[in-house]
Amino acid sequence: MKYFILGYLILIALLANTLFQDKELAESMERGKEIYADFCVTCHLENGEGVLNTFPPLAKSDYLAKNRESSIRGVKYGQRGEMTVNGVVYNNTMMPMGLEDEEIADVLNFVMNSWGNQQDKPVTPQEVSEIGPR
Ligand code: HEC
C-alpha cells in the first residue's frame, strides 16, 4: 500500500511537470510567433518556405533539425557563407538582428515547432546565453 501511494504521487508529479513544460513551450512559441512576424518573415516568408537559392527554408529544414547550436548562433550573431539546406547550397548573409537571448529562444521555439518541424527539447534563454560567436 505504501508503495502504491508513493508510485501514485510520483506519477502525479511527473504529469504535472510535463503539463507545466508544455505550457512554458506554448507561451514561448506564442511570443516567438510575434517576433517571427517582426524580424524573420521578410526573408523566410509566412510559412518558413524561404526563397529558393536566396533565403533558405526553415520549414522542414534539415539544417535546423541537425545543427541546433549553429542555428542559434546564426540568429544571435549573424550567419554568412556557404551552407546547405535540404540539398540546396546557399551562400548569402543574414545580419544579426539585435535580439535579446529570451527573444532568440522564443522565436526559435516557434520556428522549431511550426510547419511540420518538431523539436523535443525547448530552447532556453540560458542555452542561448552560453553560445558564443564562432
Ligand atoms: C534579411 C533576410 C533574413 C532575415 C530577416 C532573417 N534571415 Fe535567417 N537566413 C537568411 C539567410 C540569407 C540565411 C543563409 C545564410 C548563408 O547563406 O550563410 C539564413 C539562415 C537562417 C537559418 C539557418 C538555415 C536554415 O534555413 O535552417 C536559420 C535557422 C534562420 N536563418 C533563422 C532566422 C530567424 C529565426 C530569423 C528572425 C529572427 C531570421 N532568420 C531572419 C536571411 C534572413
51-93 pLDDT, tens digit each = 999 999 999 999 999 999 999 999 999 999 999 999 999 999 9
Nearest Cα neighbor of 115 from 43, 54, 65 is: 65
Cβ(111) to ligand 1 under 6 A? yes
What's the length of the chain?
134
Instruction: List, for residues 11-64, the tens digit of each pLDDT value.
Output: 999 999 888 889 999 999 999 999 999 999 999 999 999 999 999 999 999 999
* CA 94–ligand 1 middle distance (angstroms): 5
**Residue that the C-alpha cell 514561448 belongs to:** 28
User: Quick check: 1 pLDDT over 80?
Assistant: no
**Residue that the C-alpha cell 542555428 belongs to:** 71
Distances (CA, A) of 35 to 29, 53, 82, 117, 122: 10, 24, 26, 18, 17
* CA 55–ligand 1 middle distance (angstroms): 7
pLDDT of 73:
98
pLDDT of 80:
97
